[in-house]
Structure 1
Amino acid sequence: MAILIHKRDGLDDALDKIWAIGRLESPSGRSLLESSLGYMPWAGEGGHRRVWNIDTATAITQLIAHDREVYDVAWLPGSTDIFVSVGADGSLRAFDLRSLEHSTILYETPAPKNVPPPSASPSASARPPTSPLLRIAFNPLDSNYMSTFHMDGSDVQILDMRSPGQPVMELRAHRAQVNALGWGSSENPLLATAGDDCQLLLWDLASYTQNVSSPRNPPNSRLSSPRPDVKKRVVTDPVMAYTAQSEITNLAWSPQIPGMTMNTGHSTAPGEWIAIAIGKQIKALKV
């Protein structure tokens, strides 16, 4: 297992280092880091992305994938070829390592209304500025579904790779901008979202996704064929919520952890935990 460190000093070129960290295990013997597929996508400024071969610590390709900065990347679960990215240009794009000459745009944030057309220039055909997409995460149980959110937005969009172009669901419960999201790893994974409203919200979307599901393509196949348009559903009721004392800036799910006894004498049941970042603090919450 390896971690990629990206550093920028002044005007010098970006420095990338891959650090081998071996295998980290929980007390139960389970790896705390999922096994690597052998490749790691890296997102950078100017729309650049680089794909690293972890075993050889070398970049196998570099892509100019977006018109502006890339903010997040994610592999299609179980695939060694397909990954997606989001960025400041407001687009969600999918790539296949076996066919890198083009990408598939799965979603673009709507162009703002009443914006004058760009002036005549080599980039005059470019889309007007749109709301950036900050994060992207796949549902580990059904990799057709992804979650993302807009910069400064309070809603979370659920997208289906088989129905590109518009969200199939929108989650509306936060009262301020969303900062982070992530899926759990249980048999029925919950989606966690957190934001500037001091709220951590957990969403159970299984019934919604099952209602609009269709047969899945194998994860290593090329991008799924388009499916008939599905009317967007608006979901406003999370199944659980936690209110922090200040804004929540990030979150991370644990793997399944066995029950334990704290030094306070309290015992916990087996299951997942969520770590949240609140100012200078990290809190671990039992789900």
Structure 2
Amino acid sequence: MKQILALVGLLVALAVHAAADVLSPEQFTEEFRAALAAAIPNATVTVAEPLHLTIKVPEREAARAFLDNAYSEYSGNPKAKADLIARYVASFAESTKGSGPLNPQQIVPVIKDRAWSKEMQRAAKARGVDGPALQVIEDLNQDLVIVYAEDTPQNIRYFGPDDLQDAGVQKEKLRALAVENLRRILPPAEAVNGPLFSMLTAGSDYVPSLLLLDEIWSGDKLKVEGEIVIAVPTRDVLLFTGSNNKEGVKKLREVARKAHADGPYSLTDRLFVYRRGKFERF
């Protein structure tokens, strides 16, 4: 019981910290800019505005680095600042090197909400790029989509239909390939069970993608009362309970809203039910 209460407390208070110990967005942006400039000596890294950098590498189109998620994550754990900045800097540095051919064995399915996809397309259009050409997307339900990406050492690289064609991957076989890669890349899924709701874990980057692994949800492995009801408020949180557990559903909805509002990498505060082999709105 103590373990579950601690879990609930962690999820509900995702960003508890002493304000005096936390850098302002402006200070964080400047510190991040200096670290990124040191990591890419041939690049000019400038501050466009707080939490927004511009990266210009010779003979390449200027890239943008948005630090909102990094700052949100840092604010929740200021003591981990050095490791966090190093991790994000490595990711941005890798992205400036350009992309090679798509590796089919590293294609993974990433669960996003529809608003994310539309925002990416708007951002691409603002840069004079055809947004749909940079994404391969499939509907999961009316709120969520599957965006296919390449899992690289430091990044998650989204690609377009031309990349898929060049790699020799047929669109009708893409989902099966990506799900099989996901099974290989992810550690085994584990459930932390509680009386009201439970949490499913498997690493951090692709936790919502567990929705695509039917073997987790079919049968009675999860031992819930009624149908399986889930929440994926952020990229690294997947919670579930049973539809007949009324208090569980109430608490799940409350925690999902709080985590979605406060946590980095927000996804959705909606609840979904597993029904006839699919997840639909609850």
Q: TM-score, normalised by structure 2?
A: 0.28
| Greater helix share, structure number | 2
Q: Which has the higher contact order (CA 8 A, sep 6+)?
A: 2
